[in-house]
Amino acid sequence: MQGKFITLEGIDGAGKSTQLAWIVELLQRAGLVAIVSREPGGTPLGEQLRALVLDNAMTMHPETEALLMFAARREHLDKLILPALAQGQWVVSDRFTDASFAYQGGGRELDRDKLATLERWTQGVLQPDLTLYFDVPVELGQQRVKQIKVVDRFEKEKTEFFQRVRAAYLDRAKQFPERIKIVDGSQPVTVVKAAVERILLDVLNRA
């Protein structure tokens, strides 16, 4: 049986990393083999590309940035995601293609048609089975990120950048309501956790 592919999304500081460990625990308790990964990253090449695109001292054209995200993704699919799903394992990825539409499309204002072309090229018709989008007001996300000592190349962006990222995520969620579930990430962690559990149990019941 083919495994399922779950992705987590949100602006920086939305709290998705906090929920990640617990999501995997829940899947494992249900007797599933669940693998955790992240984008950009998830493979040796992908992790090196991650270091480059997140490097504060690095400058690059926004399209270069988009191409690197999709290059890392192509490798991630080939080396990790597709083989795991084929073996019946579940894959939980901290970010995937919706992040490219949100950050490069929304944040950097790149042409969405170009991103859609890259999406088709990189993944064909494959889409996550479920995407949890943790929605928080930009100010809250930024407050949380400020507590991190060293911010990366994206986290140092201005409020308006993250407003565009958030708007693009919400657009994407409206476009794919079956796949993308919006979770209010501004609530206390335990409330968010309960909301995530409800959504996951629903997916597990249907699997």
List residues near ligand TYD by CB under 6 A: 12, 17, 39-40, 69, 94-95, 99-100, 103-104, 152, 154
Shortest CB 152 distance to ligand TYD, Å: 6
Residue 93 Cβ, how far from ligand TYD at the closest point, in Å? 9
Q: Which residue has the tokens 């407050």?
A: 143
Question: Closest distance between ligand TYD and the C-beta of residue 84, in Å?
Answer: 18
Q: Are 7 and 36 in contact (CB under 8 A)?
A: no
For ligand TYD, the closer of residues 32 and 129 by Cβ is 129
The arrangement of strands across the sheet holding 180-184 comes to 34-38, 90-94, 5-10, 130-135, 180-184
Q: Measured from the CB atom, is 90 or 96 closer to ligand TYD?
A: 96
Span between the terminal Cα atoms of the chain, in Å: 10
Question: How distant, in Å, are the alpha carbons of 35, 53, 132, 140 from that of 165?
Answer: 27, 17, 16, 14
Q: In the bound complex, what is the minimum distance in angstroms from residue 39's beta carbon to ligand TYD?
A: 4
DSSP 124-138: TT---SEEEEEE--H
Least CB distance from residue 100 to ligand TYD, whole Å? 4
Distance between CA 31 and CA 91 in Å, rounded? 14
Q: Which is nearer to ligand TYD, 152 or 197 (CB)?
A: 152
CA distance 125 to 106: 22
Q: Which is nearer to ligand TYD, 2 or 17 (CB)?
A: 17
C-beta of 56 vs 87, nearer to ligand TYD: 56
